Homo-oligomer: A and B are copies of this chain.
Amino acid sequence: MEYSQRIARVQAHLRRKKIDAFLVSQPENRRYLSGFRGGDHGIAETSGVLLVPARGSVRLLTDFRYKLQAELEVPWAEVIVYPKGLLFLLGELLSDLSVANVAFESHYTLHSFAEKMTAKLGKKGISTLPTENIVETMRQIKDEEEIELIRRSVRLNEEVFLEIYGSLADYQSEIDIALAIEAAMRRRGAEGASFSTIVASGDNGALPHAVPCPLPITRDGSLTIDMGLVLDGYCSDMTRNCVPGKATDRYLELHRLVRKAQQAGMAAVRAGIRGCDADRAARTIIAEAGYGEYFGHSLGHGVGLAVHEEPRLSIRNKKQLKAGMVVTVEPGIYIPGWGGIRLENMVVVREDGCENLNSDTTWLDI
């Protein structure tokens, strides 16, 4: 991993912007720049913050609980423990480093923390600068090494899906299936699921973010499985839809419609097209068939160290896609009282089109 190159790019940015130091609190940004894997218990209980000065060496600031892990995972950085909390350490540390201003990630810093930090550092003559998406912007474009890691994550995810799909009849409930999937992920070496596995049967499929329930699955209704894992830090995300028993004609018709929309979306994705145009390519198919109101979310999202990241394939994203971005293409139709169908693949944006990272075709050719 080329952490030093990534740090150097951030430092060049800081110097251009006349920023003396930069606090990286967002967990995936921290990992992207350092390899530190410490897990946060939510934003209010961070496992550490990376301090990147415009010149010189990086410090990883953490608390006692993560000290050993930080030293093991980031041997090239100085690990500094804050016994009384980050705020108490920062003032002295930044003064020692002769920092006159420090940037922080406004989009991953609590309002209350920012206020306290600004007051505390202000007393030492240090100003705070809210910034947004410095590292996220770098992360959007993956290099080939990262794409290979994502490819492996997708492949492992498909292996897990096929293992469980091959023995669907063994499971009674949505929870049974979700548990089997998440256990298989970790047994096969994943760090874990990249999000809570969604298994939604029958009516439940009408909730795009359904929570698996312990009731028996509906054999003759739609079954949505939306799953992803984290492998070496990189996420995968895939949705398949099937009927464990006998599919109705309506199901088959809608499934083909969603698949057609997905293919139109994938055909539209290439460098230079806007996110909204890719969304429109798929949405038009569903709208023209009369189901526009049942496709209430956007077509896709970026995937990398985070399972949901920029860019979005949505009507609101007027920016052009660039080569090296990795996005999902996942149209869906959700009908309250009937169920839902969503199909999701991950693709790499290339100059002349897109590379489909998924090879599994379960139920895609019906």
Contacts and interface: CB of A to CB of B under 8 A. Distances in A.
A214 B189 contact: yes
A186 B177 CA distance: 11
A186 to B, nearest CB: 6
Interface stretch (A11-19, A104-112, A351-359): A104-112
B132 A297 contact: no
A316 B84 contact: yes
Interface string A121-133: 0000000001010
A111 B26 CA distance: 13
A257 to B, nearest CB: 19
Contact of A115 (B106, B113, B192, B336): B106
A9 interface: no
Interface in A117-155: 130, 132
Interface in A285-325: 296-297, 307-308, 316
A39 B196 contact: yes
Given A110-B111, A132-B112, A68 B186 contact: no
A115 B265 CA distance: 35
A221 B148 CA distance: 38
A289 B105 CA distance: 44
Contact of A106 (B39, B110, B179): B110
Contacts of A104: 111
A280 interface: no
B186 A179 contact: yes
A336 B106 CA distance: 36
Given A107-B112, A114-B111, A208 B84 contact: no
A123 to B, nearest CB: 20
Contacts of A308: 41, 45
Interface size class of A (residues with CB under 8 A): 35 or more
B68 A336 contact: yes
A270 to B, nearest CB: 27
Interface string A22-49: 0000000000000001110111110100
A327 interface: no
A207 interface: yes
A108 B110 contact: yes
Contact of A110 (B64, B110, B115): B110
A52 B237 CA distance: 36
B179 A69 contact: no
Contact of A108 (B44, B192, B195): B44
B297 A65 contact: yes
Nearest to A45: B308
A183 B179 contact: yes
Which residue, A111, A113, A114, A182, has most C-beta atoms of chain B within 10 A?
A111
Given A110-B107, A175-B186, A308-B41, A207 B69 contact: yes
21 contacts: A41-B307, A47-B209, A64-B208, A64-B297, A65-B208, A65-B296, A68-B206, A106-B112, A106-B115, A107-B111, A107-B112, A108-B110, A111-B113, A111-B130, A115-B130, A175-B186, A175-B187, A179-B183, A182-B182, A183-B183, A189-B214
